Amino acid sequence: MAFAAEARQPGSGIAARNCGKRVRKLRTRQHKETSVQRSIELLKESQAMLEGHFLLSSGRHSDRYFQCARLLEYPDRAEEALMKVGARLRDALSSGELSFDLVVGPAMGGILPAWILGRSLGLPAIFTERDEAGKMSLRRGFEIRQGQGILIVEDVITTGKSSGECAEALRAAGGHVVALACIVDRRAEGIPVEWPLYAAATLPASSWDAAECPLCARGEAFVKPGSRKMPGV
Ligand SMILES: [Zn+2]
């Protein structure tokens, strides 16, 4: 139909195509926003996204804390949260934008999300883990071909440090990391990652030095995630 219209009215084809592109772009953005909203709902329903006043392991204070293990506790919810990420990766693979045939998650947090995406993409999913010396490495007989394209998958990306350590182990084994995926991208503004990042939800962190914490300034008590004060975390 579009081709026929173009043939009848020379010149209008480009405008029509551009308009089509804009509509598709808008639809993609709307879909992405809807899927991000849904991922946030799933995180909240699973108590994987907590709002309050938290002391993070870095010593900084934050108004938000993620515990993706609570989302992964419900395989159907975790699968739904990662479904759109899987679809975007599938598109990138079929268009040739990305080329990988292995999914790797750094233990512990990355194992299950990597497995879910591996299953969704029809690719093997393995994991890296720390050795006795604490170095991220490939164990258990997992093997990588020289130059093999790899997708790294994490649960939460805050600084990208563990992806970096995972990538280092994969490079040492001959692998070639081409992209990164995660459930929650909570990087503060300005923290770069080395690869294209596919996230189910993007929720930049607000965190402060204790001395500058607005919640402390209001006299609100903080909790330390993982402590007994926080049931279920
Ligand atoms: Zn505080």
In order, the DSSP letters of 79-148 are: HHHHHHHHHHHHHHHHTTS----EEEEETTTTHHHHHHHHHHHT--EEEEEE-TTS-EEE-TT----TT-
Assign domain 2-217 to its CATH architecture: 3-Layer(aba) Sandwich (3.40)
Is the per-residue pLDDT at 30 higher than 50? yes
215 CA to middle of ligand 1, Å? 5
Of residues 187 and 129, more confidence is placed in 129
**Is the C-alpha dihedral spanning 49, 51, 52, 54 positive or negative?**
positive
User: Is omega for the bond preceding 230 within 30 degrees of 0, making it cis?
Assistant: no
217 CA to middle of ligand 1, Å? 7
pLDDT score at 10: 45
* 49-55: strand order across its sheet: 49-55, 61-66, 207-208
Q: Stretch 20-25: mean pLDDT, rounded?
A: 62
- The H-assigned helical ranges of 146-192 are 161-172
Domain ranges within the chain, ordered by starting residue: 2-217
159 CA to middle of ligand 1, Å? 20
The dihedral region occupied by 44, where left means phi > 0, alpha psi between -120 and 50, and beta the remainder, is alpha
Q: How many alpha carbons lie under 13 Å from residue 162 in its C-beta half-sphere?
A: 23
164 CA to middle of ligand 1, Å? 29
228 CA to middle of ligand 1, Å? 19
Is the per-residue pLDDT at 8 higher than 60? no
Q: Stretch 58-79: mean pLDDT, rounded?
A: 93
Cα distance between residue 20 and residue 7, in whole Å:
17
Unique residue bearing structure tokens 């045939």? 101
Which two structure tokens, joined as six digits, stand for 229? Answer: 């004060």
Read off the pLDDT band of 5 (50, 70, 90).
very low
Q: Stretch 62-89: mean pLDDT, rounded?
A: 95
Q: Which amino acid is at 164?
A: G
CA angle (95, 182, 172) in 5-degree steps: 80
Per-chain mean pLDDT for the chain: 87
Instruction: Show Cβ contacts of residue 196 under 8 Å, excluding neighbours closer than 6 positions.
Output: 92, 98, 178, 179, 180
| Per-residue pLDDT tens digits for 188-227 | 888 899 999 999 999 887 889 999 999 999 999 999 986 5
pLDDT score at 204: 84
pLDDT score at 227: 55
Is the per-residue pLDDT at 20 higher than 80? no
State what percent of residues in the chain have pLDDT above 70.
82
Is the per-residue pLDDT at 25 higher than 70? no
Of residues 11 and 106, more confidence is placed in 106
State what percent of residues in the chain have pLDDT above 90.
69
pLDDT score at 3: 41
pLDDT score at 226: 61
Among 5-19, 52-66, 68-82, which range has the highest average pLDDT? Answer: 68-82
